[in-house]
Amino acid sequence: MKRTLITSEISDLPDELCPMLKGAKIYDSSCSKQARVYYIDKDNGYYLKSSPKGTLSTEAIMANYYNELGLGARVLSYLSYDRDWMLTERVVGEDCTHSTYLDDPRRLCDTIAELLRGLHETDWSDCPIKNRTAAYLGVAAENSRKGMFDTELFTEKWSFPSAKAAWDFLQANKHYLKNDTLLHGDYCLPNIILDNWRFSGFIDLGNGGVGDRHIDLFWGMWTLWFNLKTTAYSDRFFDAYGRDKTDPEILRIIAAAEVFG
């Protein structure tokens, strides 16, 4: 996980959070343009995330829920002013983009597949976000209206010659998507923390909730391709997860939605 020491003050930092940062070294650990993530080197470590107003509310809810399940970090504070702020304890270990894990791709592939199967078998009856599928399809619809699309995602596997073709396929088949599994929602290597190959926790849970397992399956496959620069582990990933719960036709529906993701 990238960390760059910063020397300037964090702009717009709420007064409530100032005592936590006092006397601590602070590192920028951001990996997206939408959110800033800071590592606070104090005690056992903390992460402070800042994002546009209202964008961290679901993540705070789901992070609390995952923590209750023993699957993620404890949320210490969620504040919403001109921006949203969320402070969490550090999950011990390193994310799965660390060289320790990338250097053993077969073991990495099997590990994240088995962790995902375990997550998907978790009882979700008390999950606070019960219909993630509707929100997921809503994002695709909104991005379609805005003309935002990318037809090149996994071109060799799912060939949608145009945005219209992907949209038409999604509209004709979206009713097959279920709402029956606890999801991570962004199941990628940077969001899975291991401590010497032992599972420590999941992070970045803003797209979590109850939805269709194939959303996580799609991104599990994608992250191996993206980070290992090869599609060689796709079949191995599905084998390790379990073919009994993997439907290639549903994955194609997810691929159509992700054209507008």
- Residue located via tokens 């935002």: 148
Least confident of 30-39, 54-63, 228-237: 30-39
Are 219 and 100 found together in one domain? yes
Q: How confident is the prediction for the chain on average, in pLDDT?
A: 93
The pLDDT tens digits for 171-193 are: 999 999 999 999 999 999 999 99
Q: What is the pLDDT of residue 1?
A: 65
The boundaries of the domain holding residue 162 are 94-258
Helix or strand or coil: residue 182? strand
User: Which CATH number characterizes residue 61's domain?
Assistant: 3.30.200.20
Give per-residue burial for 187-224: e unless 16+ CB within 10 Å, then b: bbbbbbbbeeeebbbbbbbbbbbbbbbbbbbbbbbbbb
The pLDDT tens digits for 62-88 are: 999 999 999 999 999 999 999 999 999
Domain boundary among 65, 89, 113: 89
Are 141 and 244 found together in one domain? yes
Q: What is the pLDDT of residue 128?
A: 97
Closest CA to 138 of 191, 84, 177, 182: 177
Are 79 and 103 found together in one domain? no
Domain boundary among 58, 89, 120: 89
Q: How many domains does the chain have?
A: 2
Domain boundary among 71, 89, 107: 89
Considering the candidates 186, 204, 212, 216, report the single residue annotated as catalytic.
186
Are 64 and 159 found together in one domain? no
| Distance from C-alpha of 133 to C-alpha of 254, rounded to nearest angstrom | 11
Are 180 and 104 found together in one domain? yes
pLDDT of residue 11 exceeding 80:
no
Are 249 and 132 found together in one domain? yes
Are 113 and 203 found together in one domain? yes
Residue type, 95: D
Are 84 and 148 found together in one domain? no
Are 67 and 111 found together in one domain? no
The pLDDT tens digits for 227-257 are: 999 999 999 999 999 999 999 999 999 999 9
pLDDT of residue 34 exceeding 90:
no
User: Which CATH number characterizes residue 112's domain?
Assistant: 3.90.1200.10
Are 98 and 215 found together in one domain? yes
Q: What is the pLDDT of residue 82?
A: 92
- Tell me what the mean pLDDT of segment 94-114 comes to: 97
Are 64 and 168 found together in one domain? no
Q: What is the pLDDT of residue 156?
A: 66
Are 55 and 148 found together in one domain? no
What is the pLDDT confidence band of residue 155, given thresholds at 50, 70 and 90? low
Active site residue 103: no
The pLDDT tens digits for 119-154 are: 999 999 999 999 999 999 999 999 999 999 987 776
